[in-house]
Amino acid sequence: MFRIRAVEAPADEKGLRKVWHRGARNAELVSELDVDGHVVRQEFTLFEDVVIWRRGQGLSTAGASDVSRQGERIEPDLFADPTRLERVASALRPYQGDDRIIAHLRMLLNEAGPNPVEGRGRVTTNPSLLVAPASAVAPPRARQQRWALWGAAALVAAATIWLLVK
């Protein structure tokens, strides 16, 4: 997995935060973290393979299929499919980065035994910043205001030209 971009959503009403990682080759990891920085749930999608880990429940697998441009349909497997688990584990095995959220799933798949139900420890100690704040992905407020001013100026210019031509 490479070219990863992580985005963190604000905490929900339960205090859980979602962190999205997206790789360049149809790989996506969505993790939910509790207020203490422990992973509660991770869902990793690699092409049509989906692996889901839930604290207290362990690993499950599913198949993903594109239904439309709005999203995909996930069909859970009856039992955790060892072939899917191995494909996902082998995709994460070469990862050598320092992102502890990705490393958490990698350790669960490679080192934790057949069906780990407990997490591999805290992935962050900083409650306000996990990987990248949403502001690092969204344009700064000043840039948004500058674009709004440019848009208003373009609108005024277009209206002036229309009145002159009319």
Tens digit of each residue's pLDDT (9 = 90 or more) over 29-69: 999 999 888 999 999 999 889 999 999 999 999 998 765 44
Identify the domain containing residue 152 by its residue range.
Answer: 134-166
| 162 lies in the same domain as 118 | no
| 123 lies in the same domain as 144 | no
Q: Specify which residues 68 forms β-bridges with.
A: 71
Radius of gyration of the chain (CA): 21
Burial of 56 (0-12, 13-18, 19+ CB in 10 A): exposed
| 58 lies in the same domain as 70 | yes
pTM above 0.85, yes or no: no
Higher pLDDT: 25 or 23? It is 23
| 71 lies in the same domain as 141 | no
